[in-house]
Amino acid sequence: MKRDDRRQAIMDLLVAQRMVDLDDLSDRFAVSKMTIHRDLDDLEQAGMLRKVRGGATMEAGSHFESDFRFRQQQEGDAKRRMAEAALELVEPGMTVMINDGSMASVLGEMLPQKRPLTVITNNAAVIDRLKAESGIDLIAVGGSYSVKFNGFFGVVAEEALSRLSADIAFISTPAVSGLRVYHMDDDVVRSKRAMIASAARRCLLVNHKRFNHTALHVLATVDEFEIVITDQEPPVEARVALDAAKVSLRVASAESR
């Protein structure tokens, strides 16, 4: 098997099972452990995985966000509930911004329910879903495509977003601690910041498991958002911080449906 094919196969295994073992990979592909080490090193450097003792994982860390394909398979019911709660903030005729991410892609699938809308997004999954929808004026933000985040980023994306204006922006995040909102990737941070600056109202989408976690870059403070939507009641200290910032919290729990 060629090197690139082997590395793609490693990524496919990670998407399917979250973690891979160094010895198992060596046996599976009939190559030395050193070769697998080099494969994992290069994939880690490209931001595709996170090396751990004896193997690698796609689980997020403070400096690492997992591949879009992996995140797309996680917490499906929670994402749907949060998306349904977010959809209640949308009215026909609005201009809506949606950022990258698997959570945002679920919301994007629901937006035709509120047509007519203008939708501005750098999320490739949302672009693909809405590109043929009648009643949706889709503005696809271009830029440098990231396979890992399945979206468009960089100077081109940031410049385009700075020249647009929306009624509301939906921003997702992998980490919130105290009054700070975080992300692992600086390109993603800049695109999200551009959306925050270009929207009259801003909604933060965050899984309850991501409270009391940090990441490499500070994305925003919670008081920059009008409302925070999560899937379950967050830890007490997180709720206290949101109350202190006078930010509205919407818990889209299964019990509230």
Quickly list DSSP for 90-146: --TT-EEEE-SSHHHHHHHHHGGGG-SEEEEE-BHHHHHHHTT-TTEEEEE--SEEE
Q: Name the pTM for this structure.
A: 0.76
pLDDT in tens, 82-100: 999 999 999 999 999 999 9
| Rounded mean pLDDT, 219-234 | 95
| Rounded mean pLDDT, 183-208 | 96
pLDDT in tens, 19-51: 889 898 999 999 999 999 899 888 887 767 878
Q: What is the pLDDT of residue 155?
A: 97
- For Cα atoms 72, 76, 80, give the angle at the middle one, nearest 5 degrees: 110
Q: What is the pLDDT of residue 195?
A: 98
Q: What is the pLDDT of residue 61?
A: 57
Residue 182 has pLDDT above 90, yes or no: yes
Omega of the bond leading into 116 within 30 degrees of 0 (cis):
yes
Lowest mean pLDDT among 3-17, 92-106, 209-223: 3-17
Confidence of residue 107 (pLDDT cuts 50, 70, 90): very high
Q: What is the pLDDT of residue 75?
A: 63
Cβ atoms < 10 Å from Cβ of 244: 12
Residue 212 has pLDDT above 80, yes or no: yes
Residue 4 has pLDDT above 70, yes or no: yes
